[in-house]
Structures are given as C-alpha cells and as structure tokens.
Amino acid sequence: MPGINRTGPKKAASPIANQHAVKNDAKNVEPPKVNNDRLQLSGEAQNIEELFQSLSAIDEIDSKKVESIRRAIKKGEMPVDYQVLANKILELSDDFDDHRKE
C-alpha cells in the first residue's frame, strides 16, 4: 500500500524460500556409503552344499521296492555277493573321505 512505512522487525522468509534452500543443501550431501558385506563358506560347508545338490538330483526311493528286496535277501531268494558289496562300501567310503579332505 502506498504511503505506509513499515517499521519493526522484518518478517521471516516464506516457507517456499526455505524449501529452496533445503533442496540446494540436498544436492551437496554425499550419498550414504554401502558396505560390501560378503559371506565366505568353509570347505566343509561347501561340501555339504554340493551333497545337498547331489541328493536333490537323486530320484525318490521306492520304499516298497526296497522292502521287497530286503525280504527276498532274507529268504535267500536273491543272492548277494558279499565280497562285491564290501568292495563297493569301501569305494564309497574312500570317495567320501576324499571329499572331506578337499
């Protein structure tokens, strides 16, 4: 209004001006630094993971078939070469030990 002289304290800056200042400050702020966390598995944990993957590839066990084979072996209807069986068990044991040493 013409002819009115203002005396007294200045009014505070408008909220819009303050928002502008905040935006300028935000441009100068560095983004937070991201830690590069890593997970390292022990050799045994890696072997266990490999075993789980191998097991997931194996077909399901037919428990009825296994039971019928057990009964046939007990009755003597299915011959078992115990030397071949023992050799196979030792071979599998050696393979297992080799995996544990890696």
Overall size of the chain counted in residues:
102
Domain boundaries, the chain: 63-102
Residue 34: per-residue pLDDT = 72
Residue 95: per-residue pLDDT = 82
Closest CA relative to residue 41, chosen from 33, 32, 50 = 50
The answer to whether 75 and 68 are in contact (CB under 8 A) is no
Closest CA relative to residue 46, chosen from 92, 96, 95, 102 = 102
User: DSSP alpha helices (H): ranges in the chain?
Assistant: 15-28, 43-57, 63-75, 82-101
Tens-place pLDDT, residues 60-88 = 888 899 999 999 999 999 999 999 999 99
pLDDT at 22 > cutoff 60: no
Tokens of 30: 């560095």
Instruction: Report the 10 Å Cβ neighbour count for 47.
Output: 16
pTM over 0.85: no
Residue 14: per-residue pLDDT = 52
DSSP secondary structure code for residue 81 in this structure: -
Higher pLDDT, 36 or 88: 88
Residue 49: per-residue pLDDT = 82
pLDDT at 45 > cutoff 70: yes
